[in-house]
Chain A
Amino acid sequence: MTAGLVARAEVTRGAFTLHADLRVAPGEVVAVLGPNGAGKSTLLSAVAGLTPVSAGQILLDGDVLDDASTGAFLDAAHRPVGFVFQSYRLFPHLSVRENVAFSPRARGSSRADARSAADDWLARLGLTELAARRPGDLSGGQAQRVALARALAGGPSLLLLDEPLSALDAGSRLDVQTELKKHLSGFAGACLVVTHDPLEALLLADRLVVLEHGRVVQEGTPAQVARRPATEYVAKLVGLNLYTGTVDGSQVALDGGGTFVVPNHGEHGDVLVALRPSAVVVSPHRPDVSSARNTWSATIVGLTMLTDRVRLDLVGKPSALVDVTPAAVAELGLAPGGEVWLSAKATELEVYGQVPGSRS
């Protein structure tokens, strides 16, 4: 028996098919990260029992929840699963306490027991004062905690969260995030969070699973994924330039044109090269003498102001995103259409082959 969630299944919805392959151990928080339409919600809906799988199976603590080959299917109502929906879906006609008591009551507790279970959870999540309110009178952060309390009150062994912070305004996000992290780490069961926000995933999760076009393209710890992105999408999320190419000793011939000199590890074959935008130096003229082993020219096609720096979008061989200070933009006279020289040290280039968990 494998404890926790094991999902190896396909879910078909119209023309879209999700190929899910993931495990979540008890006590572990796994974030499924992916763009809109990657199949994240479909995954949650299949695990919760709202959509049956079309192939494969889903197991929880060794029990079959859904198995397309035998036809076995456990109703959503009978799965020990708590679901925190994106827009929370708190029942508008019930008070906060009645919302939280709903699951114990539906699972057979007496009215009094359900109520005291609800009061326990409300106290644990600091919601006691709000018990008599209607969901319509709650702030976003409060509604989120009520939704969490309601999902946990049923005593689930698996908790699902769909974009838990997306309905919040930027101001309350950070508080709620810290709060949520605390509650999730106190949860003994498996926890699956889906999000399209990399920061949310990095902060909440022990492990990331990246989903694109209905397939898992990468999985690993947040640090691994952030350092060695497997796809363009992940690289963009974590703010890195990513290149594919072929390495031969210290030379990488890039697929999109251009060459990088990298530290020689005697490797050959297809590789990915990641480069931080802040590790690239911009010069108005070709640098004569430099310790940087990689120097190439490029044309500025765009400038974007980030909080404390300016991101240059450059086209060349290879193209790159480069971060410079606002002062540098003014001093070097950087403007769209301008020609500049870029240089990067060989040691700044992260060169790696197949990423663990990558099946692309």
Chain B
Amino acid sequence: MQTLSSRERERRATSGGGSRSAPVPLLVPAIVGMLFLVVPLLGLVFRAPWGQAWTILHGSAAGEALRLSLWTSTTATAISLVVGVPLAWVLARTHFPGLRLVRALVTLPLVLPPVVGGVALLLAFGRSGFVGQYLDQWFGITLPFTPAAVVIAETFVAMPFLIVTVEGALRSADQGFEEAAATLGAGRMTVFRRVTVPLVAPSLVAGAVLCWARALGEFGATITFAGSYPGRTQTMPIAVYYALETDPDAAILLSLVLLLVSVVVLVALRDRWLRGAV
């Protein structure tokens, strides 16, 4: 026999269903999991040298690193949209021999250690790499250890997040709308532009956000392929890593700046786009 408060009675009567409190075997691990995710972030906030925040940030390369991180990750996301969305469409809507292999290869960077990705990029686009040597000989272009290399490394690691999200959305989208558009006289590109893309827009935005966040946090592939030249290829995560060795207070503040950027993006997009999509 239990007692129900009048408020609980009203809730059960209006929203239906039984008790909404979680059983203990689920509740305890749930709380442990939540603390595990939240406590380290709280640690950042509590340990931050708020008093000297301005001087430390001002004196460090934080501004440069943040600017570099923002524009490279945004560029990486833009590139991912331009080539990743058509690739997702091809994977979702066409059939050709080797499709499964292509899908596996395309999503490989999701599970590949980023350092390995960086090594692979060096071998391909490095000065003596099998693509890089021709870029160097024919065009005089050297990619490694440049801001362009940062963008390439971030795109390599982050684009699969966009592809996987959009491909899933395309697969589950109702193709009846595309048929309807065809009977209304729309060619395949018009159908793609005016029906397919708008219908998967929420997933497209969610995928782009995931992609951007992943690019912003990229470390392993970037440091391997682009190095760590302050002001040129030293992105925020790399700056945090080096600051931790020399100036832990600066590292904490830089981390907080990254955390703040991530939270702002998440909150700004959450209500509008991410509901139901992620």
Contacts and interface: CB of A to CB of B under 8 A. Distances in A.
A binds B: yes
Interface of A: 48-50, 75-79, 81-83, 85, 87, 89, 91-94, 102-103, 106-107, 150-151, 154
B180 interface: yes
Contacts of B179: 50, 76, 85, 89
A78 B180 contact: no
A91 B181 CA distance: 9
A89 B176 contact: yes
A154 B182 CA distance: 12
A104 to B, nearest CB: 8
B185 A107 contact: yes
B184 interface: yes
Given A76-B183, A77-B183, A83-B180, 12 more contacts: A75-B182, A76-B182, A83-B183, A85-B176, A85-B179, A89-B176, A93-B199, A93-B201, A102-B184, A102-B186, A107-B185, A151-B183
Interface stretch (B1-9, B139-147, B187-195, B220-228): B187-195
A103 B191 CA distance: 11
Interface in B38-77: none
Contacts of B190: 106
B194 to A, nearest CB: 7
B260 to A, nearest CB: 33
B241 interface: no
A355 to B, nearest CB: 34
Nearest to B186: A106
16 contacts: A49-B182, A76-B182, A77-B185, A81-B183, A82-B183, A85-B179, A89-B177, A89-B180, A93-B201, A102-B194, A103-B184, A106-B194, A107-B185, A151-B183, A151-B184, A154-B185
B212 to A, nearest CB: 23
A93 B198 contact: yes
Contacts of A106: 181, 184-187, 190, 194
- Among B181, B182, B194, B201, the one with the most A-chain Cβ atoms within 10 Å of its Cβ is B182
A195 to B, nearest CB: 19
Given A93-B198, A93-B199, A106-B187, A87 B181 contact: no
Interface in B162-208: 176-177, 179-187, 190, 194-195, 198-199, 201
A63 to B, nearest CB: 16
**4 shortest A-B CB distances, which residue pairs?**
A103-B184, A106-B186, A89-B180, A83-B183
Interface in B124-153: none
Contacts of A78: 185
A106 B187 CA distance: 8
Given A102-B194, A106-B190, A87 B185 contact: no
A91 B183 contact: no
A51 B170 CA distance: 21
Contacts of B198: 91, 93-94
Nearest to B198: A93
Contacts of A82: 183
B185 A91 contact: no
Given A91-B195, A93-B198, A93-B199, A103 B180 contact: no
A75 B199 CA distance: 23
B216 to A, nearest CB: 29
Contacts of B185: 77-78, 103, 106-107, 154
A243 B205 CA distance: 64
A46 to B, nearest CB: 12
A77 B195 contact: no
A85 B180 contact: yes
Given A93-B199, A106-B190, A48 B176 contact: no
Nearest to A76: B182
A91 B180 CA distance: 9
B184 A50 contact: no
Contacts of A103: 184-185
A136 to B, nearest CB: 13
A75 B186 CA distance: 10
Given A87-B176, A92-B199, A93-B201, A102 B181 contact: yes
A83 B179 CA distance: 10
Contacts of A87: 176
A333 B205 CA distance: 71
A171 B265 CA distance: 48
A48 B194 CA distance: 20
Contacts of A92: 199
Nearest to B188: A77
Residue with the greatest number of chain B CB neighbours at <10 A, chosen from A79, A83, A89, A107? A89
A106 B201 CA distance: 21
B184 A154 contact: yes
B176 to A, nearest CB: 5
A29 B195 CA distance: 31
Contacts of A107: 185
B186 A91 contact: no
A154 B247 CA distance: 69
Contacts of B194: 102, 106
B180 A77 contact: no
Nearest to A89: B180
A50 B195 CA distance: 17
A106 B193 CA distance: 11
Contacts of A150: 184
Contacts of A151: 183-184
A87 B186 CA distance: 20
Nearest to A45: B179
Contacts of B180: 83, 85, 89, 91
A82 B184 CA distance: 7
Given A89-B176, A89-B177, A91-B177, A50 B201 contact: no
A81 B184 CA distance: 8
Nearest to B183: A83
B197 to A, nearest CB: 10
